């Protein structure tokens, strides 16, 4: 997520240029890399080309609303885990609930408050980063477990082979002892 001094990449999606300008300036000043999209289809292309670490998404846009954009992002296996924060003038409980149902992690009302936006972005970027770290740690442990299981199987096969060889040598010794006895010699005396 972090590259150089940047805190993460945020994609702003809003059809109102004034909102994009304000959010762009606010987040850029804090050290975030900011990318912009003025509609849903542009946002989807941007996410597909270079997935951001977080998306701030307006709901009310022409052609494709924010809910539809979010649903498309969440359907894609490569992008489903990108946190999406909805920013909207819609303040009805139904709209907020729907934002969470389609996969949003937060909902900020317009006009947005600077501190609230920054706190939400920071919190959800940190959560996303920790989730990725946890997933990578889980994958490392699974890989170690698989390697350990392979070593265990290999050791068991090696022990079984050595046991079989020992049994074969023991059988040969017993055959030789029997032949010596047939010749009238005591194998214990040799």
Three-state SS for 137-166 is HHHHHHHHHHHHHHHHHHHHHHHHHHHHHH
Determine the 3-state secondary structure of 167 from DSSP: helix
- The percentage of residues in the chain with a pLDDT greater than 90, rounded to a whole number, is 72
Task: Please tell me the pTM assigned to this model.
Answer: 0.73
Determine the 3-state secondary structure of 1 from DSSP: coil
The 10s digit of each residue's pLDDT in 49-103 is: 999 999 999 999 989 999 999 999 999 999 999 999 999 988 788 888 999 999 9
Asked if residue 8 lies in contact with residue 33, where contact means CB atoms within 8 angstroms, the answer is yes
Long-range contacts from 63-70, C-beta under 8 angstroms, 24+ separation: 63/39, 64/39, 64/40, 65/40, 66/13, 66/40, 66/99, 67/98, 67/99, 67/102, 68/40, 69/13, 69/40, 69/43, 69/44, 70/99, 70/102, 70/103, 70/104
């Amino acid at each position: 997520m972090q590259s150089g001094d940047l805190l993460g990449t945020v994609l702003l999606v809003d059809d109102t240029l004034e909102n994009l300008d304000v959010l762009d300036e606010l987040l850029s000043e804090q050290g975030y890399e900011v990318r912009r999209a003025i509609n849903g289809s542009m946002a989807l292309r941007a996410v597909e080309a270079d997935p951001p670490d977080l998306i701030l998404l307006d709901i009310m846009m022409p052609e494709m609303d924010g809910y539809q954009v979010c649903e498309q992002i969440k359907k894609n296996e490569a992008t489903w885990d990108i946190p999406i924060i909805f920013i909207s003038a819609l303040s009805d409980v139904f709209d907020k609930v729907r934002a969470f149902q389609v996969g949003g992690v937060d909902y900020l009302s317009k006009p947005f408050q600077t501190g609230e936006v920054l706190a939400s972005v920071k919190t959800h970027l940190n959560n996303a980063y920790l989730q990725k770290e946890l997933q990578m740690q889980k994958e490392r442990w699974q890989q170690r477990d698989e390697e350990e299981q392979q070593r265990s199987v290999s050791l068991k096969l090696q022990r079984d082979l050595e046991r079989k060889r020992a049994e074969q040598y023991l059988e040969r010794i017993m055959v030789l002892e029997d032949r010596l006895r047939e010749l009238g010699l005591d194998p214990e005396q040799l």
